[in-house]
Amino acid sequence: QVQLVESGGGSVQAGGSLRLSCVASGYAFSVGWFRQAPGKAREGVAVVYSVDGGTNVADSVKGRFTISRDNAKNTVYLQMDSLKTDDTGTYYCAADPKIRGIFDDFRYWGQGTQVTVSS
């Protein structure tokens, strides 16, 4: 069982930055960030792996978002720069004991944190 707690969401103007944090209570090989805008399907944003710190980032956020992991703190971060209004949504942290990609389903999910980007 892995419990996940997200933080760091908020409101920001387009072009601004936010950093999301996800604290995990247990071990997970894969930790990812997903988002869902109202009326839209959930979208995988980024994933990081515990073994080598390898990452995978969705094309829609590549070059603007960075995922990182601090194993000592059991925390995964999503640094979001150059935010756009299209980035608005609820962001969820997810974890899985196996290898999972941004298009896969994860076993454990957090409650989500709201990100609102205004023009």
Closest CA to 30 of 67, 5, 64: 67
State the burial class of residue 43 (Cβ atoms within 10 Å of its Cβ: 0-12, 13-18, 19+).
middle
Could you tell me the CA-to-CA distances from 23 to 54, 63, 65, 77, 101 in Å, in that order?
18, 24, 18, 9, 19
pLDDT digits (tens, 9 = 90+) for 23-69: 999 888 999 999 999 899 999 999 999 888 899 999 999 999 999 99
- Report residue 104's pLDDT band, with 50, 70 and 90 as the boundaries: very high
